[in-house]
């Protein structure tokens, strides 16, 4: 790691920097990382999103054309005043994942949760059935 990278990494692991950012009105919860993978196999697009520690009841999944929007709330189990190291983001979050296709029907999307991973499957074949051509001829 370069010295600049090390300095940057250390700065964001230093609670003083985090408290300074919070005091300036920067909402660190919007920086909540939800790592994800998008996999295309055969007729399906599958999204795997890491969501460990996030209560299922706080999760909301919305579809807007080709965007999957995941919102929720990760609740801290301890007082923020007692934190020595802060690497986990808490609070409300929102993550937008853009797909290579538009999703037009709710029944073409299936959602599951397994071992802290949110699994969203879009049936690409059924979505392609919704495409059609309009002719200019009468």
pLDDT of residue 115: 93
Range of the domain at 40: 32-128
Q: Six-digit token pair at 101?
A: 């296709």
pTM (global) more than 0.75: no
- Are residues 81 and 117 located together in one domain of the fold? yes
CA 82 to chain centre: 28
Q: How many domains are there within the chain?
A: 2
pLDDT of residue 116: 92
- The pLDDT > 90 percentage for the chain reads 25
Helix (H, G, I), strand (E, B) or coil at 132: coil
Bridge partners of residue 123, in order along the sequence:
44
- Are residues 48 and 114 located together in one domain of the fold? yes
d(C-alpha 74, C-alpha 92), whole Å: 6
pLDDT of residue 126: 72
Is residue 131 pLDDT above 60, yes or no? Answer: no
What are 60-105's pLDDT values in tens digits? 999 988 899 999 988 888 877 777 887 777 788 889 999 988 887 8
Tell me the pairing of strands 67-74 and 91-98.
antiparallel
Is residue 36 pLDDT above 90, yes or no? Answer: yes
d(C-alpha 86, C-alpha 20), whole Å: 14
* 38 occurs within a structural domain: yes
* 137 occurs within a structural domain: no
Q: Rg for the chain (alpha carbons), in Å?
A: 20
| CATH for 60 | 2.60.40.790
What are 40-64's pLDDT values in tens digits? 998 899 999 999 888 888 899 999 8
């Amino acid at each position: 790691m370069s010295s600049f990278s090390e300095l940057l990494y250390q700065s964001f692991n230093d609670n003083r920097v985090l408290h300074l950012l919070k005091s300036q009105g920067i909402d660190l919860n919007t920086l909540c990382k939800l790592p994800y993978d998008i996999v295309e196999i055969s007729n399906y697009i599958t999204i795997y999103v890491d969501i460990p520690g996030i209560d299922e009841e706080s999760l909301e999944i919305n579809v807007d054309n080709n965007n999957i929007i995941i919102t929720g709330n990760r609740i801290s189990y301890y007082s923020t005043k007692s934190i020595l190291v802060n690497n986990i983001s808490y609070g409300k979050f929102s993550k937008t994942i853009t797909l290579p296709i538009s999703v037009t029907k709710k029944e073409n999307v299936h959602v599951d949760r397994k071992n802290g991973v949110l699994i969203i499957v879009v049936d690409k074949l059924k979505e392609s059935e919704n495409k059609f051509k309009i002719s200019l001829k009468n």
